[in-house]
Amino acid sequence: MSSENYMADEDWTRTKRSTPWYDDGNIVLVSANSSALFRVHRGILCSYSTIFKDMFTASHEGEEVIDGCPVVHMHDTEDDLKHVLMAMYSRSYFPSGAKSAPVTVIAAFLRLGKKYEISDLYDEAQAHLEIDLPDNFEAYVTSQSSPWKITSVPNTSHDVAIAVANIVREAGLLSMLPAALHMCMDCCTMEEIFAGLRDENGNVGRTLSLENQQACALAIQPYHELTGQTFAFVQTSLSTCTSRTTCQRAKQAFLAENFFPSPKLTPLADCDEEFLEALCPACATDARSLHRDSRKEAWRRLPGIFGLPDWTELVEKELS
């Protein structure tokens, strides 16, 4: 081994050795900006990705080495590499059917899964997102009965919504984008959408991508209009009502609480069961039916208010 290669070893002594680092590994990956090193096994990585196989085959004699292992410079972040490598070595790192998953792990699987054609990880991340971001109304209604499957740090709905919308857009998962943008409109204030989230010290943290900001800006007016249409049934009177005064009072209270001075609900919001129970049986039955039909129509129109094609075209574009 040449003296140049020994010097290469010394040059890396100040670089963090990250997990995974296996003493019997036979290749060292260097993350973007040389921020971290990973010592892993060429064969394991190649078994997941033919692109890795081609990359490692292209290595030449005389290149850098660390502890006798050839060095491969990656253009991926330390976190992305760590999540993907850990999952390759241990499926318990992200078990199939997990009840929840950090958005950073999902993002890493999508980015590197697509880039290096690691289909197992990419498909698992996509399937996990589809639970919270379906492309059909019935699945959306079902998803609302359980907590989100995606978590973040800090684990707030605002942070998760922005993070998910960004990675869905980045990964080109177009059929998930309407539901993801709806999450942002539902969970975030306008300031958070356009200026980013701030921590307790006022520092800007996670921000929505420019494309997603533009989509939300386009949607502001039609989003509120669609909300009004979803709950338009509250302003109707039923000829078969058996308690007109009571029902009218309940409807007025519902409107005052949820629409003044501005709408507090969303186009896809479920109807408050307490409000429905305050209505007479005839009005309650009618309200449930009208509200479900209105929500279904709002779902159909959801992509359009964000400047996106309809659901069918989004799915087709994603598959092409």
Mean predicted confidence (pLDDT) in 169-198: 95
- 94 domain-assigned: no
| φ, ψ (nearest 5 deg) of residue 105 | -70, -45
Q: Find out whether 133 and 160 touch, Cβ atoms under 8 Å.
A: no
| Token reading at 251 | 């409807």
Query: What's the gap between Cα 170 and its chain centre?
Result: 10
| φ, ψ (nearest 5 deg) of residue 28 | -120, 125
Across all residues in the chain, what is the average pLDDT? 90
- 319 domain-assigned: no
- Angle (nearest 5°) at CA 192 between 189 and 195: 140
- 199 domain-assigned: yes
- 311 domain-assigned: no
pLDDT value at position 296? Answer: 97
Q: Find out whether 31 and 74 touch, Cβ atoms under 8 Å.
A: yes
pTM of the model: 0.89
* Shared domain check, 213 and 120: yes
CATH number at residue 30: 3.30.710.10
Which residues are CB-neighbours of 183 under 8 A, at least 6 positions away? 133, 157, 160, 161, 164, 165
* Shared domain check, 214 and 110: yes
* Three-class secondary structure of residue 102 per DSSP: strand
- 298 domain-assigned: yes
Q: Where are the alpha helices (DSSP H) in 262-306?
A: 273-277, 281-305
Cis peptide before 20 (omega within 30 of 0): yes
- Rounded Cα distance, 183 and 103, in Å: 15
From 192, 219, 246, give the residue that closes a domain.
219
* Shared domain check, 62 and 105: no
* Shared domain check, 187 and 112: yes
Q: For residue range 116-173, what is the model confidence (pLDDT) as tens digits?
A: 999 999 999 999 999 999 999 999 999 988 888 888 877 688 899 999 999 999 999 9
* Shared domain check, 111 and 55: no
Tell me the pLDDT band of 14, cut-offs 50, 70 and 90.
low
CA 57 vs CA 30, 51, 205: distances in Å? 17, 10, 40
Nearest to 219 by CA among 162, 172, 163, 266: 266
From 60, 89, 118, give the residue that closes a domain.
89
- 132 domain-assigned: yes
- What is the CB neighbour count within 10 angstroms for residue 289? 11
- Rounded Cα distance, 86 and 104, in Å: 13
- 189 domain-assigned: yes
**Structural domain containing residue 285:** 225-305
Mean predicted confidence (pLDDT) in 47-76: 85
User: Which H or E run includes 36?
Assistant: strand 36-40
* Shared domain check, 63 and 20: yes
* Three-class secondary structure of residue 26 per DSSP: coil
CA 304 vs CA 35, 96, 226, 299, 312: distances in Å? 42, 34, 11, 10, 12
Instruction: State the DSSP code for 91.
Output: G
pLDDT value at position 320? Answer: 77
From 69, 89, 109, give the residue that closes a domain.
89
- 195 domain-assigned: yes
Q: For residue range 221-250, what is the model confidence (pLDDT) as tens digits?
A: 999 999 999 999 999 888 899 999 999 999
* Shared domain check, 130 and 48: no
* Shared domain check, 117 and 214: yes
pLDDT value at position 168? Answer: 96
* Shared domain check, 105 and 211: yes
* Shared domain check, 192 and 161: yes
- Rounded Cα distance, 232 and 34, in Å: 58
Tell me the pLDDT band of 200, cut-offs 50, 70 and 90.
confident
Q: Find out whether 179 and 134 touch, Cβ atoms under 8 Å.
A: yes
Q: Find out whether 16 and 45 touch, Cβ atoms under 8 Å.
A: no
* Shared domain check, 290 and 197: no
- Rounded Cα distance, 220 and 218, in Å: 6
Question: How many structural domains is the chain composed of?
Answer: 3
Q: Which amino acid is at 11?
A: D
* Shared domain check, 198 and 176: yes
Q: Which amino acid is at 52?
A: F
Q: For residue range 276-302, what is the model confidence (pLDDT) as tens digits?
A: 999 999 999 999 999 999 999 999 999
